[in-house]
Amino acid sequence: MPPKSWEWCPGSARPAGLMGPEESKWEREQPRWPGNTTVYRYFESWAAALEAAGIKPVWPAGPEGTLVERVEAARRMHAAGESNRAIADTLGVRPETISRYLTAHPCRECAGPVVSKAKLCHVCATRNGNPRRWSKEEAIAAVRKWVRLEGRAPTSQDWRPVRFGGAARWEAEFGEWPPASIARIVFGGWSKLLEAAKVGVNKPSWTREEILVALRARLTEFGKPPAKQELEWPPAGYPSSRTVRRHFGSFTAGLKPREKRWSEEAIIEAMREYERETDLWPRSSDWTVACEDWPSASTVYLRFGSWQAALEIAMSDGA
């Protein structure tokens, strides 16, 4: 029995309720069998691929089995006054299928007939939806490239659409990265993919202390904390926003990490020390992010009610 197109495409078979032994065999023995995307890439149709393999497709009585020919035949018979039922009996399809044949519109890419409300025919939609088949070597190269750009090995969650919790880079550069399923299909599991790429397990390459130092350096350089989107694809020397979230729970928490408990006396002394080193009294904007030498501005407001109240005490007592 010759294979059907959907039997070599589990992604289409499952939602259509067509899961069966043949489709399971394709998935179980992958990558022994190509996907139907690969077939469409080299042949104009599934029937053309079968014929090239020496297998004659079995089509219902009527014109040869291409959709184009069936649509043209249906339109010719309709113009001659034949009923939809009579046309359906001739072509070996259901009457409702004839209605779709008669209202078919051209595919946006190949101009072939589309018998649904979609803009693309099935073949073009399959090609666009599955633009590339990844080899082992390409998947390994992608893992190593991700490590260079992100500073860590990818997780299986990263290589999925954002709506499913995936990484923004993967979705923004769709087509340049393989899907997460590549690990299971080609390597037998995610850990085996990382092992083949020789990148080790996925461990954070940034410590909390290193992240804080980098964020403070960016604050000093630009005079304000970095926005989340500025670190989605960070420049060299800075952690990504995902790295900050992984260590602190959220990007905002990374900008305002938990600081040591500052007493009123310690805050006043920090203000005086700041003045001795810079010849300027600190402003609240100077202490947006806490460090070892001073608390955050929010801590000052919490202890004294206002920035000016703390500053007046520091200036008067220190006079």
Highest mean pLDDT among 120-129, 143-152, 198-207, 287-296: 143-152
Is 228 contained in some domain?
yes
Task: Give the pLDDT band of residue 137 (cuts 50, 70, 90).
Answer: very high
Judge if 192 and 140 occupy the same domain: yes
Instruction: Give the whole-angstrom CA distance, residue 280 versus residue 303.
Output: 22
Per-residue pLDDT for 295 more than 80?
yes
Per-residue pLDDT for 141 more than 90?
yes
Q: What is the mean pLDDT of the chain?
A: 76
Judge if 274 and 313 occupy the same domain: yes
Is 106 contained in some domain?
no
DSSP the chain: -PPPGGGG-HHHHTTTT---HHHHHHHHTTTSS--HHHHHHHSSSHHHHHHHTT------SSS-S-HHHHHHHHHHHHHTT--HHHHHHHHTS-HHHHHHHHT-EE-TTT--EE-SS-SS-HHHHHHHHS-----HHHHHHHHHHHHHHHSSPPPTTTTS-GGGT--HHHHHTTTSS--THHIIIIISSHHHHHHHHT--S---S--HHHHHHHHHHHHHHHSSPPPGGGGSSPPTTS--HHHHHHHHSSHHHHHS---PPPPHHHHHHHHHHHHHHHSSPPPGGGGSS--SSS--HHHHHHHHSSHHHHHHHHHHHT-
Q: What is the pLDDT of residue 63?
A: 46
Is 99 contained in some domain?
no
Per-residue pLDDT for 140 more than 90?
yes
Is 67 contained in some domain?
no
Q: What is the pLDDT of residues 229-280, one digit of tens each?
A: 777 666 657 787 777 877 766 676 556 555 567 888 999 998 998 888 788 8
Judge if 248 and 292 occupy the same domain: no
Q: What is the pLDDT of residues 37-71, one digit of tens each?
A: 777 677 766 777 888 888 876 544 444 467 888 88
Judge if 273 and 226 occupy the same domain: no
Is 140 contained in some domain?
yes
Judge if 249 and 271 occupy the same domain: no
Per-residue pLDDT for 203 more than 50?
no
How much is the average pLDDT of 6-11? 68
Number of domains composing the chain: 4
Last residue of a domain, one of 197, 227, 244: 197
Q: What is the pLDDT of residue 162?
A: 72
Range of the domain at 247: 208-255
Is 25 contained in some domain?
yes
Last residue of a domain, one of 173, 197, 221: 197
How much is the average pLDDT of 28-39? 75
Judge if 301 and 268 occupy the same domain: yes
Judge if 142 and 184 occupy the same domain: yes
Q: Are 151 and 240 in contact (CB under 8 A)?
A: yes
Q: Are 249 and 257 in contact (CB under 8 A)?
A: no
Residues 6 or more apart in contact with residue 84 via CB below 8 angstroms: 78, 95, 98, 99, 102
The least confident of 138-152, 190-204, 260-274, 276-290 is 190-204
pTM: 0.30
Is 244 contained in some domain?
yes
Judge if 140 and 191 occupy the same domain: yes
Judge if 190 and 219 occupy the same domain: no
Judge if 184 and 146 occupy the same domain: yes
Judge if 151 and 188 occupy the same domain: yes
Last residue of a domain, one of 150, 169, 197: 197
Task: Give the pLDDT band of residue 219 (cuts 50, 70, 90).
Answer: confident
Is 116 contained in some domain?
no
